[in-house]
Structure 1
């Protein structure tokens, strides 16, 4: 599992995918979310702007990421 450090919580799901270079653009992030390819805390998430907080786990393309606060 990879750790994603953020400066402030929450962060939007689509922005996380883009900032972590899991997708090439914001449009692609929205598309993969709408198509049900992303899970948050074990459930398929279709909200593009889903607010992620510290401790949330995101799964995409057989990778897992946990959100942590960068202190």
Structure 2
């Protein structure tokens, strides 16, 4: 995956919480890693810094950690 690509991450129901999505998308290893990423201001949703692990995501939202990006896709 290059720096400009966004990987679609299918979910079965809306909404999904940011912390859950980060783990599902492989952008975080576990809940502790999610907390560390958010505390370090390394997570954006739709190009805006996000500090709430419980933020509700919906279809089409793009979550980024560094150059890795995942898009919420409802299946």
TM-score (normalised: structure 2): 0.85
Measured in 1, the distance between the counterparts of 2:63 and 2:36 equals: 16
RMSD: 1.0
TM-score (normalised: structure 1): 0.89
User: Secondary structure of 1:16's match?
Assistant: helix
5+ residue gaps, structure 1: none
**Range 15-24 or range 26-35, more displaced:** 15-24
User: Which residue of 8, 16, 21 corresponds with 1:11?
Assistant: 16
- 2:65 corresponds to which residue? 60
Aligned: 1:25 with 2:22? no
**1:20-69 CA distances to partner (integer Å, 9 max, x unpaired)?**
22222111111101221000011000001111000111111201211111
- 1:42 corresponds to which residue? 47
Measured in 2, the distance between the counterparts of 1:65 and 1:25 equals: 16
